[in-house]
């Protein structure tokens, strides 16, 4: 066991104490670019399994993990979707369970009460309602859930609530959008993903076509939302440059405050077999095109950051927006929800509620009941019994908890140095001497200094991705994974028979230049 101000981490096994050469880890991350990303852990059934807590010890472990946490973030998962998009990797239930929304929402409220009784009135720094399609249930059920959360927990003065919707719902159910604003929801995110009808059909998303987009955006603005985000996706097999360009142009015309780009990850999706048809060069070109177009339209983001903001008067630090290549002189607002912002910059613990939801503390990661089978029965059964609905709970060594924090930090393309030391009691350089030396030497990351003043009153000194590091995102992030995950990536190369093909050769050239 290792400790830091009351935090006790598990003792790492042999696989998590082995050091590997940075060049090999970097190359393995680039080669396995479809899975080496912010979605940590990787292969948890092998890398996490040695640290699994037996069910009879769940309650005590949860109590210990949350005991010293005065402030947390909160996530509620609404798993219902009229149809499951082919690119979806999340816990979503099928059509046969759509009629159970009221029973599910009642169970979700009960789970809030179970945790409040066990943990006390924690302070909430940010609250996200996601899915699935969280705007699928009646608005009254969402309002009741928010009321339950506010009754059971204390909200920080600057805490905000964020919710997701689809173009179809925002277009056809304007009363829901207005109700969200009236019940105190501050931020709304709409999943456009792509705009081309043929690609929408191939992805099982044709009911959310462009005929809904402008009306949906108008309803969101009319409701009074001043924090409006659009989600776009790239890296699909068969997605041409022209198609992606048209999607970005369309998104800009919709007039959001923020645009968030998600690269298609394929893992656990119905089209996972298509991953082999996506070249890393295609992904890089699409990311570069999006950055150029968005910056030209007044949306800015640091290298590696996937949310672009056009709220210039919220900018922090010195300087002003620069050219497309001048991205380090302008430290933009986060553009993300308070929940995600706190997670990314400070590594704030969060409680996940609902079917299959993930919870992250300083020492544990857990997954709620129903995560494996993506069905409601196990979750509803546990709630009826009055027990915490936990499927898997892992008490992890510091190496995995550090890796999880760093992986999430890469949403913004930078690791906050002060937050890391506060959380783990060591500097980033002490925890990752080889990785830090490698990324600095190869020009993949650099130290940056600025104050993130108005949004979070914290010291914002960071180790940040450079433009080159953002280009080699997948190899760079792998350098900070726990050794067992790095081992998996390197063995996966060999097991897959990948004989130094061009992605790996290119990665090794970067490491050796």
Give dist(CA 288, CA 296) in Å, integer. Answer: 12
Task: Kindly state the average pLDDT of the residues 72-96.
Answer: 71
Q: For all residues of the chain together, what is the average pLDDT?
A: 85
pLDDT score of 98: 73
pTM over 0.85: yes
Taking only the tens place, the pLDDT of each residue in 406-449 is 999 999 999 999 999 999 999 999 999 999 999 999 999 999 98
**E strand or H helix at 130:** strand 123-131
User: Given a cut of 80, is residue 209 above it in pLDDT?
Assistant: no
pLDDT score of 100: 87
3-state secondary structure 299-334: CECCCCCCEEECCHHHCECCCCCCCCCCCCCCECCC
pLDDT score of 135: 93
Task: Kindly state the average pLDDT of the residues 96-124.
Answer: 92
User: Given a cut of 70, is residue 210 above it in pLDDT?
Assistant: yes
Taking only the tens place, the pLDDT of each residue in 125-171 is 999 999 888 999 999 999 999 999 999 999 999 899 999 999 999 99
Query: How sure is the predictor about 372, in pLDDT bands with cuts at 50, 70 and 90?
Result: confident
pLDDT score of 211: 82
User: Given a cut of 70, is residue 313 above it in pLDDT?
Assistant: no
pLDDT score of 197: 62
User: Given a cut of 60, is residue 327 above it in pLDDT?
Assistant: no
User: Given a cut of 90, is residue 184 above it in pLDDT?
Assistant: yes
Neighbouring residues of 357: CB distance < 8 A, sequence distance ≥ 6: 75, 76, 77, 91, 367, 368
pLDDT score of 361: 97
For residue 101, count other CB atoms closer than 10 A to its CB. Answer: 17
pLDDT score of 203: 55
Give dist(CA 115, CA 72) in Å, integer. Answer: 13
pLDDT score of 449: 80
At CA 132, angle to CA 114 and CA 123, rounded to 5?
35
Q: Where is average pLDDT lowest: 65-74, 81-90, 219-228, 489-498?
A: 81-90
Check if the beta carbon of residue 195 is closer than 8 Å to that of residue 247.
Answer: yes
User: Given a cut of 60, is residue 68 above it in pLDDT?
Assistant: yes
Structure tokens at 9: 């981490």
Residues of the chain with CATH 3.30.750.200: 174-336
Helix 502-512 / helix 22-31 crossing angle, nearest 10 deg: 150
Q: Which of 227, 236, 154 is nearest to 195 (CA)?
A: 236
pLDDT score of 500: 35
Taking only the tens place, the pLDDT of each residue in 447-466 is 998 544 334 455 678 999 99
Task: Kindly state the average pLDDT of the residues 184-192.
Answer: 95
Query: How sure is the predictor about 308, in pLDDT bands with cuts at 50, 70 and 90?
Result: very high
Long-range contacts of 242-245 (CB under 8 A, 24+ apart): 243/194, 243/196, 243/199, 244/286, 244/289, 244/290, 245/289, 245/293
pLDDT score of 315: 34
User: Given a cut of 80, is residue 196 above it in pLDDT?
Assistant: no
Environment class of 270 (CB within 10 Å of its CB; exposed 0-12, middle 13-18, buried 19+) = middle
Query: How sure is the predictor about 265, in pLDDT bands with cuts at 50, 70 and 90?
Result: low
Query: How sure is the predictor about 222, in pLDDT bands with cuts at 50, 70 and 90?
Result: very high
Q: How much of the chain, in percent, has pLDDT values that exceed 90?
A: 68
Q: Where is average pLDDT lowest: 222-226, 258-262, 273-277?
A: 273-277
Residue 73's beta-bridge partner residues?
Answer: 350
Task: Kindly state the average pLDDT of the residues 102-107.
Answer: 96
User: Which residue's structure tokens are 């570069």?
Assistant: 288
Task: Kindly state the average pLDDT of the residues 205-219.
Answer: 81
DSSP letter (8 states) at residue 68: T
Q: Which of 116, 144, 114 is nearest to 129 (CA)?
A: 144
Is 174-336 a domain of CATH 3.30.750.200? yes
Task: Kindly state the average pLDDT of the residues 171-186.
Answer: 97
Task: Kindly state the average pLDDT of the residues 10-27.
Answer: 97
pLDDT score of 201: 58
């Amino acid at each position: 066991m290792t400790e830091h101000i009351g935090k006790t981490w598990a003792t790492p096994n042999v696989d998590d104490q082995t050091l590997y050469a940075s060049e090999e880890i970097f190359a393995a991350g680039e080669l396995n670019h479809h899975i080496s990303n912010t979605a940590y852990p990787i292969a948890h059934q092998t890398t996490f399994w040695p640290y699994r807590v037996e069910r009879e010890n769940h309650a005590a472990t949860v109590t210990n993990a949350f005991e010293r946490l005065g402030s947390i973030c909160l996530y509620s998962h609404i798993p219902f979707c009229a149809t499951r998009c082919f690119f979806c990797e999340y816990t979503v239930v099928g059509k046969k369970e759509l009629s159970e929304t009221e029973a599910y929402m009642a169970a979700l409220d009960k789970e809030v009460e179970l945790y409040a009784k066990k943990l006390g009135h924690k302070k909430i720094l940010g609250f996200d309602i996601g899915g699935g399609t969280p705007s699928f249930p009646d608005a009254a059920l969402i309002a009741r859930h928010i009321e339950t959360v506010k009754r059971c927990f204390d909200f920080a003065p600057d805490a905000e609530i964020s919710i997701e919707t689809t173009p179809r719902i925002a277009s056809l159910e304007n009363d829901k959008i207005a109700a969200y604003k009236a019940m105190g929801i501050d931020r709304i995110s709409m999943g456009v993903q792509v705009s081309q009808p043929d690609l929408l059909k191939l992805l099982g998303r044709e009911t959310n076509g462009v005929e809904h987009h402008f009306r949906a955006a108008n309803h969101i603005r009319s409701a009074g939302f001043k924090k409006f985000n659009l989600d776009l996706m790239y890296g699909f097999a068969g997605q041409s440059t022209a198609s992606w360009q048209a999607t970005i142009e369309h998104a800009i015309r919709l007039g959001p405050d923020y645009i968030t780009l998600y690269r298609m990850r394929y893992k656990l999706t119905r089209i996972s077999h298509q991953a082999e048809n996506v070249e890393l060069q295609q992904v890089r070109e699409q990311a570069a095109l999006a950055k150029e177009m968005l910056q030209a339209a007044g949306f800015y983001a640091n290298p590696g950051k996937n949310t672009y903001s056009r709220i210039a008067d919220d900018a922090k630090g010195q300087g002003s927006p620069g050219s497309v290549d001048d991205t380090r002189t302008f430290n933009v607002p986060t553009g993300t929800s308070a929940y995600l912002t706190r997670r990314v910059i400070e590594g704030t613990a969060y409680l996940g509620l609902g079917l299959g939801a993930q919870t992250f503390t300083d020492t544990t990661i857990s997954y709620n009941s129903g995560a494996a089978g993506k069905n409601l029965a196990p979750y509803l059964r546990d709630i009826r019994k009055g027990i915490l609905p936990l499927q898997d709970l892992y008490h992890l060594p510091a190496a995995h908890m550090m890796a999880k924090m760093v992986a999430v930090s890469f949403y913004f393309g930078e690791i906050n140095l002060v937050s890391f030391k506060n959380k783990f009691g060591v500097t980033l350089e002490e925890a990752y001497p080889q990785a830090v030396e490698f990324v600095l030497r190869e020009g993949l990351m650099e130290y940056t200094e600025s104050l993130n003043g108005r949004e979070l009153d914290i010291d914002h000194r960071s180790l940040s991705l450079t433009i080159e590091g953002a280009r080699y995102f997948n190899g760079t992030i792998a350098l900070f994974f726990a050794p067992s995950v790095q081992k998996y990536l390197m063995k996966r190369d060999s097991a897959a028979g990948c004989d130094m093909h061009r992605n790996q050769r290119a990665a090794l050239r970067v490491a050796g230049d």
